[in-house]
Amino acid sequence: MEAPKPIFGHLAALFTIVVWGITFISIKVLLVDFTPVEIMFYRSILALLALFIASLPRLAPGKPLRWVLRDEWKYMAAGLCGITLYMLFQNIALTYTLAANVSVLVSIAPLLTALVSRFFLSEKLKANFFLGFAIAIAGIILIAFNGSVVLKLNPLGDLLSILAALVWAFYSVLIKKISAQDHDMLRVTRKVFFYGVLFMLPILPLFDFRLGVERLVNLPNLLNLLFLGIGASALCFVTWNYAVKILGPVRTSIYIYTIPLVTIIASVLALREPITLVAGIGIALILLGMALSEHRKAGPA
């Protein structure tokens, strides 16, 4: 079977980032009636249901059960890192520190992904990757703070943001390892979300979680949860995992730089917010940083 062309991986990553970049609109609507942890849980449950419908569980024919269970830890670890811990760390961080801090610190995920990949996948990194990272981060900082010189640090919130970026790096490497053995990205994503939700359940009582299904009668709430659960979670995790499979975790993670850019464009279109000169410079730096990081293939994908 002919290997998928890299262009399909780039298109999948770009599509994913565009959707993730506009989720802030839905989240802002939902935060009126839901806590961040409740949003996290409901969107994960909806994603899991959608993935079960799209890809019913089955045991691969001719594959002994002990072989299946032997690799199950990878799916468990991916669910714990990419679903439970990433969403948890990011949501809690937003309650302790500025959203601008979180957006900048989570954006170091490509660098952390590169370092984790270097250790676990033996990917070689070139100097242009690190130069591109520095330039892109400078652009993200300009966009996040929009020229403000006031930087408010919160050790706990900022640490949680960094931890979110770190567990995402491990998630990306795990998906690359899994995709080398299981080429069905629907099935992979379904199993990852199953374990993510499973690990999520014991921690819900710690955050005053309540079902409150009466809130779903509100049509905007229901529509935004469906978008987050089915579109931004189920579909986009499939497309992101597909991109990681084709491009590798490092090259795919570079697209994370563009989330602030997508958010700005969405703000202009949906909220009529103007693009400032500082934000414009930030956008240019992000695009330049991406171009430098992607200029040459850093290692085997």
What is the rounded average pLDDT of the residues 265-282? 74
* Residue-level pLDDT at 74: 92
What is the rounded average pLDDT of the residues 84-108? 80
Length of the chain: 301
- 111 vs 294, more confident: 111
Tens digit of each residue's pLDDT (9 = 90 or more) over 125-183? 777 888 888 888 888 777 776 655 555 667 788 888 889 999 999 999 999 999 888 77
Tens digit of each residue's pLDDT (9 = 90 or more) over 3-17? 567 899 999 999 999
Kindly write down the DSSP assignment for every residue of 233-265, as one continuous string: IIIHHHHHHHHHHHH-HHHHHGGGGGHHHHHHH
Q: Which amino acid is at 150?
A: V
Instruction: Give ∠ CA 154-254-149 in degrees, rounded to 5.
Output: 35
Q: Is the pLDDT of residue 296 over 90?
A: no
- 151 vs 197, more confident: 197
Q: Is the pLDDT of residue 18 over 70?
A: yes
Place of tokens 């170091």: 108
What is the rounded average pLDDT of the residues 194-212? 89
DSSP 208: T
For residue 73, count other CB atoms closer than 10 A to its CB: 11
* Residue-level pLDDT at 152: 63
Q: Is the pLDDT of residue 87 over 80?
A: yes
- Minimum mean pLDDT range among 35-39, 103-107, 228-232: 103-107
Establish how many alpha carbons lie within 13 A of residue 170's alpha carbon, considering only the half-sphere containing its beta carbon.
18
Tens digit of each residue's pLDDT (9 = 90 or more) over 35-75? 888 989 999 999 999 999 988 766 555 555 555 566 789 99
- Minimum mean pLDDT range among 40-54, 108-122, 212-226: 108-122
**How many Å apart are CA 26 and CA 223, to the nearest integer?**
9
Q: Is 183 helix (H, G, I), strand (E, B) or coil?
A: coil
